[in-house]
Every structure is written in structure tokens, then in C-alpha cells.
Amino acid sequence: MKDVTFGQYYPAESFVHKCDPRMKIIFLIAYIVAIFVATNFYGLAVCFLGLVVTVVFSKVPFKSVLRSVKGVLFLLVFTAVLNVFFYKGSGDPLLHWKFINIYKEGIYYSIFLICRLFLLVMGSSILTLTTTPVSLTDGLESLLYVFKLMRLPIHELALIMSIALRFIPTLMDETERIMNAQKARGADFESGSLVKRAKALIPILIPLLISSFRRAEELGDAMDARCYSGSKERTKYKKLTFTWRDAVCLLLIALILTGVILFKVFFAALV
């Protein structure tokens, strides 16, 4: 669980760290759009190149970004296996056994889907690795300002999302400590059938739930002690401003989208 990097912040003095959080959120949204617009491996190659450039300028170790995939590795494998067995191709199947048919197109599409999800998870982890929860809250609140005119609690919603991201690694550490304590008392989480191992996790959920409520109560008391009152009459210590770095980020995402669209137009097939 220590390898789960999603929600963690990696402190560094880098180009990406100094970018405006609003631009980083916009960059991530546009990057996700580019990933799903891509219909072939050439388009994904453009997205991967943009990811590599971002990682290099963020000074975040590539291993830390790659470790973010471990949390969804089972989902990636499960999705790929389903596509291999149930994707219907146009030609003769490579393998036929009873009701199972494996086509060449199914294998290609499964590899394409895995690459797409890899880029999606790693690109999302860059945002949390290079942005503090406070900056992320300010950026979300600023981008959703139009909804504030509709009397929606934008500040509170942004705060909830940033706190949820912040407590992901904390809850992971808490889960690991509870599991180690249960193992010291003779609990076994690794042997037996899938149902047996699922039942063995029940003693972990109860103390984890109690710990989560305790941390939430402590956080609420700390916010009350500091006279936190939401967005009402609240000022900002740091003003968000766009700089030349944000213009470079905007240019980079424009190049990524342009490259993906061009490859989609000229190479429409999945190759």
C-alpha cells in the first residue's frame, strides 16, 4: 500500500509545481479528452510524449508516477481479459474453444485499452503529486466560480474533494498498520479461497471505519478552533495569477490535441 501514490504530494522546485493550479486542472481535463479522442496507437504515442515531457519538467521520479498504476492494476488486467475473450472480430478467430473466440482485433483492442488506462491514471497522478491540497482547493473553487453565482456551495465542495484526495494515503497507511496488527495476532490474509480472504478483511474494516470517523472529528474540531466559517467573508493569502509557465502549458496541450486529431483523421483504423 506504500506504493500507492495517488493523493500524495511530492515537494520540489520545478516548472510544473510553480504553474497555476487552475491551468494544471485544465491541462488534465484536456489531456483526458485527448486520450479518449485517440483512436489508434499513434494518438496514444502523442499523449505519452506529452506525459513524458510533463514528468521531466515536474522533477517527479518516473517510478513514483508509474507506481500509481498499482492501485488499478487488477482492474486493468480484468478489463483486458474481458475484451480479449468477448471482442468480436471480422475475420476468423485465432483461437476457438466452445463459446470462447479470440480474434486478432480483440488482442489489439485490449492492448490499446490498457495503454489508454495507463496514460489516464499516470496523468491524473501528476496533478496530485505536483499540487498541494490547498492549491487544489483554490483552483477548483476558482474554476467553478460561475456556479457560485447560482448560490451553490462551491468552496465547500472543492474543500471536500481536496480533503478526500489528501486522506487517501493517510487511510492507506492506517489500513497497513491495522493489517500488521492483525497479522501479529495470527490473522491470515493471503491464503485460502477468494471468499475466505474477503471474509478475513472484515476485521480490518471496522477499526478502519472507527479511525476514519475519529480523524474526521479531529479535523472538524481543528477547523472550528481556527474559526473556519466556509467561504463567507473569506479572503485569500495567495492570489492565483496566470504566468508565462501557464501559457507554455496551454501551448503543450494544444499541440497534444492537434497531434491526436491529425492522427485520428489520417489514421482512422486502430493500428
Taking the domains of the chain in order of start, what are their residue ranges? 21-166+237-266
- pTM metric for this prediction: 0.75
Whether 263 and 35 have beta carbons less than 8 Å apart is answered as no
pLDDT for 271 equals: 46
Predicted confidence (pLDDT) at residue 150 exceeds the cutoff of 60: yes
Q: What is the mean pLDDT of residues 169-193?
A: 78
Q: What is the pLDDT of residues 87-101, one digit of tens each?
A: 666 666 666 666 666
Confidence of residue 254 (pLDDT cuts 50, 70, 90): very high
Predicted confidence (pLDDT) at residue 213 exceeds the cutoff of 80: yes
Predicted confidence (pLDDT) at residue 238 exceeds the cutoff of 90: no
- Share of residues in the chain with pLDDT > 90 (%): 14
Q: What is the mean pLDDT of residues 18-47?
A: 90
Predicted confidence (pLDDT) at residue 117 exceeds the cutoff of 90: no
